[in-house]
Amino acid sequence: MLRISRILLAALLTMLLVAPELWQWPVPPPVPPPRPLLIFYGSLPGQASPAQLAPLEAAIKGYGLVVVHSGLESPGNPSATVLTTLIRAMPAVAFYGYLALGVTHGEPDYSLSQIRTDLTRWQRLGVRGMLLDTAGHDYGVSTARLAAAMTAAHQLGLRLIVNAYRPQDVLAAPWAAGDLYLAENWALSEGSTPGPRAELTLRALYRLERQGVTVAATATEAKGWPFSHSLLEQAVLVTMDMVPGIRWLAVAGPNYSANTDAMVPALLLQQAAAGQPRDY
């Protein structure tokens, strides 16, 4: 019996030395750094001439997803032509429109009919998706209202970014492939740290990720770009630390460039997210 035990022990030791992959705990693959997301509420050029569009195209270069402000879908808005020209000129960039779903706290409280109309107008402009803002219970948005808006967008072939303060509010939403949940300013809001999120909120975020929902995040500084590169790196790092598993990240000044029209270069955002040496 003792001899058999020795033989088994020798065989086990040999296996551990010769084939360590059989006993070592598998190492998960590295998580790629988040991709640059641009939420741009600044103004578009007054005309769609190449000379006026060229600076904007250069500023957007490197961003894979760009959200523009509301109102461009309104009939007669001259900037709508600028947007459609920009969309055609930059096919590698996914442009998204904006729609507020909120009912309370001064939000527009659009009817579902108006929501469907606005989604259709945006889709005709050529956007690939929509940011559905103020989409949680804290703005009076019921689960049924959110579901109706998301379904209407999906029926038009639009992907979605859904911004709800609490991910718990959107766990039952009709998510589709390519949709994103937006964790807005969880770690940094206009240069201030809101504080840690409750454990219940983080658990809901994990549940969304397990459902296949991609997570995006934003961070805003107290002043518009350009701000110091150390502030940019800090914004990126604290956001990646507080919001685990994010795949898209936006960093901007107050009101997402609405005051200055300036935007963080995508290359600098990429380098900060990847922990690369500064190339500036």
| pLDDT tens-digit map of 142-155 | 999 999 999 999 99
* Token pair 């598998």 in the structure block, residue: 26
At residue 15, the pLDDT reads 55
When pLDDT is cut at 50, 70 and 90, the band that residue 33 belongs to is: very high
Report yes or no: 140 and 104 within 8 Å, Cβ to Cβ: yes
CA 106 to chain centre: 24
Q: Would 118 be classed as within a structural domain?
A: yes
CA dist 41 to 20, 22, 252, 254, Å? Answer: 54, 53, 10, 10
How much of the chain, in percent, has pLDDT values that exceed 90?
77
Q: What does pLDDT average to over the chain?
A: 90
Instruction: Centre a 10 Å sphere on the Cβ of residue 76 and count the other Cβ atoms it contains.
Output: 5
Helix orientation angle between 50-60 and 79-89, rounded to the nearest 10 degrees: 60
- Report the predicted TM-score, pTM, of the whole model to 2 decimal places: 0.88
32 Cβ contact partners less than 8 Å away, ≥ 6 residues apart: 247
Q: Would 145 be classed as within a structural domain?
A: yes
Q: Would 189 be classed as within a structural domain?
A: yes
CA distance 257 to 250: 12
- CATH of residue 189's domain is 3.20.20.60
pLDDT beyond 60 at 30: yes
Least confident window among 13-22, 151-160, 219-228? 13-22
At residue 6, the pLDDT reads 62
The one-letter code for the residue type at 57 is E
CA distance 53 to 56: 5
When pLDDT is cut at 50, 70 and 90, the band that residue 131 belongs to is: very high
CA distance 11 to 256: 64
Given the DSSP bridges, would you call strands 35-40 and 129-133 parallel, antiparallel or unpaired?
A: unpaired
Q: Would 85 be classed as within a structural domain?
A: yes
SS3 sequence of 207-226 = HHHHCCCEEEEEEECCCCCC
Question: By residue range, what is the domain housing residue 46?
Answer: 34-274
Q: What is the DSSP letter of 24?
A: S
pLDDT beyond 90 at 279: no
CA 41 to chain centre: 15
Into how many domains does the chain fold? 1
At residue 173, the pLDDT reads 98
CA distance 172 to 162: 13
Q: Would 222 be classed as within a structural domain?
A: yes
Supply φ then ψ for residue 109, to 5 degrees.
55, 55
Average pLDDT over residues 233-260: 94
pLDDT beyond 80 at 183: yes
CA distance 249 to 239: 9
Least confident window among 29-38, 205-214, 256-265? 29-38
Instruction: Centre a 10 Å sphere on the Cβ of residue 74 and count the other Cβ atoms it contains.
Output: 11
Please spell the DSSP secondary structure of 57-99, one letter per residue: HHHHTT-SEEEE-TTTTSTT-THHHHHHHHHHH-TTSEEEEEE
At residue 8, the pLDDT reads 57
* Token pair 């086990």 in the structure block, residue: 12
Q: Would 53 be classed as within a structural domain?
A: yes
Question: CA nearest 221: which of 183, 261, 181, 187?
Answer: 187
Q: Would 14 be classed as within a structural domain?
A: no
Instruction: Centre a 10 Å sphere on the Cβ of residue 111 and count the other Cβ atoms it contains.
Output: 9
Least confident window among 61-65, 98-102, 247-251, 257-261? 257-261
Considering only residues 138 and 19, tell me which one the structure prediction assigns the higher pLDDT: 138
Q: Would 204 be classed as within a structural domain?
A: yes
Given the DSSP bridges, would you call strands 94-100 and 129-133 parallel, antiparallel or unpaired?
A: parallel
The one-letter code for the residue type at 263 is M
